[in-house]
Chain A
Amino acid sequence: MTYTAWIIVTASLVGMSCGLIGVFLVLRKTAMMADAISHTVLLGIVLAFLVTKEVSGPAMLVGGIFAGLLTAFLVQWLHSLDVQHDASMGIIFTTLFAIGVILISTSIGNAHLDIQHALMGEITFIPFDKVSLPLVGEVPRATLLLFIVFLIVLFFITAFYKEWKITSFDSALAVSIGIPAIAMHYLFMSLVSITTVASFDAVGAIMVVAMLITPASSAYLWTDRLVVMLILSSIFGILSAISGYYIAYWIDTSISGSMAFSTGLIFMFSFIFSPKHGIISKYVQPIKNL
């Protein structure tokens, strides 16, 4: 495959995983948890590096899950001690992120890991770092990791579809009929974490938040059905990724920035033109009802 094709495949995998996860982030009203976790996984990655002395996929995923769960747990804990929920989120994630930043600059030295890279990602380098796979041939390391994470996300979203639905809509009911809403919450936070870690290389910690939240919010405007929302959100994720790449190519600028910008364009388009919730429909509908 060509260099451009690998970039597009990689970005699309980010778009799909983030699109799927994002739907439940939005519906569970935990969108800002994505922001928190996208920062704290940095600490997880650094810790994984300090333990294994290499930046490898599986170790990074484990480190990410650890950091994500730690974040979710600490936020909940601080909140239970009477700190406002949003404040406890702000306190925990900045502190854990800061520890990550300090560790990078003191303990890591010249590894393939720096703060700029972690925040902004660098998808342009991804096709150069390849691994050899039987049957498939040479595949960029980051793309392989993203593909595995996409499969994991897809598996968990479809296998526990009705459990995600009921715990998102009415967690009290879920608990009362024996579905462990709290365990589901932490499982979900783990999925957010691995998606974030895998997307790190491609888009970085800041832009991944755009990929997680904006396509899902756009999809929400177009449909009243959860399945359709999941599919649309993934499609919007892919569209943002691809169009973002070409925008960046065209005006010669940051790829991850352009992708995040594309998610915003799609949202704006949805916000204006969506038949049910769009601005235009609000003016048009009264005429239809006459």
Chain B
Amino acid sequence: MSSPVISVNNLSAAYQKNTVLRNVNFEITPGSLTAIVGPNGAGKSTLIKTMLNLHPSLTGEVQYFGLPFKKVKKRIGYVPQRGSVDWDFPTDALDVVTMGLYGEVGWLKRPSKSHKKQAFEALEKMGMGDYANRQISQLSGGQQQRVFLARALVQNADLYFMDEPLAGVDAATEIAIMETLKKLNAIGKTVLVVHHDLQTVEDYFDHVLFLNKTIINHGKTEKVFTKDNITRAYGGNIRILGGGI
């Protein structure tokens, strides 16, 4: 087996005094497409944020490609929840995607024509070429999510974290996003997705990570996506699989 892309050792995190993550341990194999699932408040977003140094950890460490986060920042792309930014910000779709390249542009420099071209191509890949100059508040929720995905694409990372990219989007966007994720996967990229819809897990993801403040189970979808694990993660009040329990 190849060495893991991510290894998380004993990670814990808290919001003020409430522990949200407890002793989380797992490893992610290269080229996998993993769903992180769990009930509300299970710490799914916190897990991602803590892994990306956006939230402080209490204990533990995370390594990427065998290295600490700071050394591999540029190989990691992050798509936050759509609601985490102000969509009334005075800017257009192309500009938001171009922001994904700011790290590459460098200090005191403006994005060049080739940066803009890359950004436009990423928008086209997400079927958003016609909306490049549209003010972002004029886009639908699904279109905004596609802009975020396009922004992640231009970052050309090896590893992607996505926080609920399918939440509240239309069916066409859901298909477009999943096709994009599968394409990324096919060229060897590793993708972790916080996912809320248990009905689509088996169709979309090859790995599942059940989280409820700590890891409940983690592995290949066909092995661990069982009624038993779902009940353990969600605590029994679930009516999804096969008409419910």
B78 and A159 contact, CB distance less than 8 A = no
- Within B126-155, the residues touching A (CB, 8 Å) are 135, 137, 151, 155
Chain B residues lying within 8 Å of A286, measured Cβ to Cβ, are none
Residue on A nearest B101 in the bound complex, by CB: A177
The reply to whether the CB of B110 lies closer than 8 angstroms to some CB of chain A is: yes
| A118 vs chain B, min Cβ distance (A) | 34
A162 and B84 contact, CB distance less than 8 A = no
- How far is B73's CA from A177's CA once the two chains are assembled, in angstroms? 7
- How far is B137's CA from A130's CA once the two chains are assembled, in angstroms? 49
Q: From B53, B91, B110, give the contact of A225 (CB < 8 A).
A: B91
- How far is B96's CA from A165's CA once the two chains are assembled, in angstroms? 10
B135 and A169 contact, CB distance less than 8 A = no
Q: From B53, B84, B90, B99, give the contact of A175 (CB < 8 A).
A: B53
The reply to whether the CB of A91 lies closer than 8 angstroms to some CB of chain B is: no
The reply to whether the CB of B244 lies closer than 8 angstroms to some CB of chain A is: no
Task: Encode contact with B along A155-175: 1 for CB under 8 Å, 0 otherwise.
Answer: 000011111011011101111
Chain B residues lying within 8 Å of A179, measured Cβ to Cβ, are 102-103
- How far is B76's CA from A171's CA once the two chains are assembled, in angstroms? 16
Chain A residues lying within 8 Å of B105, measured Cβ to Cβ, are 162
| A267 vs chain B, min Cβ distance (A) | 17
Q: From A169, A176, A220, give the contact of B91 (CB < 8 A).
A: A169
Instruction: Tell me the interface secondary structure of chain A in the complex.
Output: helix
| A59 vs chain B, min Cβ distance (A) | 30
A170 and B16 contact, CB distance less than 8 A = no
| A53 vs chain B, min Cβ distance (A) | 39
A226 and B91 contact, CB distance less than 8 A = yes
The reply to whether the CB of B220 lies closer than 8 angstroms to some CB of chain A is: no
Chain B residues lying within 8 Å of A41, measured Cβ to Cβ, are none
- How far is B107's CA from A179's CA once the two chains are assembled, in angstroms? 9
- How far is B95's CA from A228's CA once the two chains are assembled, in angstroms? 15
Interface residues on A, range: 20 to 34
Residue on A nearest B152 in the bound complex, by CB: A173
Chain A residues lying within 8 Å of B85, measured Cβ to Cβ, are 169-170
Q: From A172, A178, A229, give the contact of B103 (CB < 8 A).
A: A178
Chain B residues lying within 8 Å of A162, measured Cβ to Cβ, are 99, 102, 105, 110-111
A172 and B78 contact, CB distance less than 8 A = yes
B80 and A165 contact, CB distance less than 8 A = no
The reply to whether the CB of A82 lies closer than 8 angstroms to some CB of chain B is: yes
| A242 vs chain B, min Cβ distance (A) | 26
Q: From A82, A176, A220, A224, give the contact of B92 (CB < 8 A).
A: A224
| A215 vs chain B, min Cβ distance (A) | 15
- Within A123-179, the residues touching B (CB, 8 Å) are 159-163, 165-166, 168-170, 172-179
- How far is B155's CA from A220's CA once the two chains are assembled, in angstroms? 30
- Within A216-240, the residues touching B (CB, 8 Å) are 220, 223-226, 228-229
B interface list, Cβ under 8 A from A: 16-17, 49, 52-54, 73-74, 76-78, 80, 84-86, 89-92, 96, 99-100, 102-103, 105, 107-108, 110-111, 135, 137, 151, 155
14 inter-chain pairs at a CB distance below 8 angstroms, sorted by A residue, are A27-B86, A160-B107, A165-B99, A166-B99, A169-B91, A169-B96, A170-B84, A170-B85, A172-B54, A173-B78, A176-B76, A177-B102, A178-B74, A224-B135
10 pairs of A and B residues whose beta carbons are closest in the complex: A177-B103, A224-B135, A176-B78, A170-B85, A226-B90, A169-B89, A166-B99, A178-B103, A224-B90, A229-B90
A interface list, Cβ under 8 A from B: 27, 29, 82, 159-163, 165-166, 168-170, 172-179, 220, 223-226, 228-229
User: A27-B90, A160-B108 provided; 18 other pairs, C-beta below 8 A?
Assistant: A27-B86, A160-B107, A161-B110, A162-B99, A162-B111, A163-B107, A172-B80, A173-B100, A173-B151, A176-B54, A176-B77, A176-B78, A177-B73, A177-B100, A177-B155, A178-B103, A224-B135, A225-B91
